[in-house]
């Protein structure tokens, strides 16, 4: 190529235009989806904290074997819920 020839365009020279309505719909849907993901994650972490707190209370206040097992199970379930909410484990829905 010589210096006077323009560089070839990789898109074939077609102009790319954005339809404002489609762009608005796409951005609005993406933001809505992100906000719902945040709400879901915070809710799951709240439930996980609740399970861990109830399990710890049951673990420390009861002296029976059943209370200890239930408290340990609640704590374990809380950690599993938190790990799933933070995507450290695969989700149940797929």
Can you tell me the mean pLDDT for 11-22?
A: 72
Q: What is the pTM assigned to this prediction?
A: 0.70
Residues 6-32 as b or e (16 or more Cβ within 10 Å = b): eeeeeeeeeeeeeeeeeeeeeeeeeee
Q: Each residue of 17-76: pLDDT tens digit?
A: 778 888 899 999 999 999 999 999 999 999 999 999 999 999 999 889 999 999 999 999
What confidence category does residue 88 fall into, taking pLDDT thresholds of 50, 70 and 90? very high
| pLDDT band at 2; cut points 50, 70, 90 | low
pLDDT at 11: 63
């Amino acid at each position: 190529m010589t210096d006077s020839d323009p560089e070839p365009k990789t898109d074939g020279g077609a102009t790319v235009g954005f339809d404002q309505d489609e762009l608005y719909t796409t951005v609005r849907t993406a933001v809505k989806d992100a906000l719902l993901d945040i709400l879901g994650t915070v809710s799951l972490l709240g439930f996980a904290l609740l399970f861990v707190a109830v399990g710890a209370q049951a673990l420390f206040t009861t002296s029976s074997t059943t209370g200890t097992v239930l408290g340990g199970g609640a704590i374990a379930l809380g950690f599993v819920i938190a790990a799933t909410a933070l995507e450290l484990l695969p989700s149940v829905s797929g």
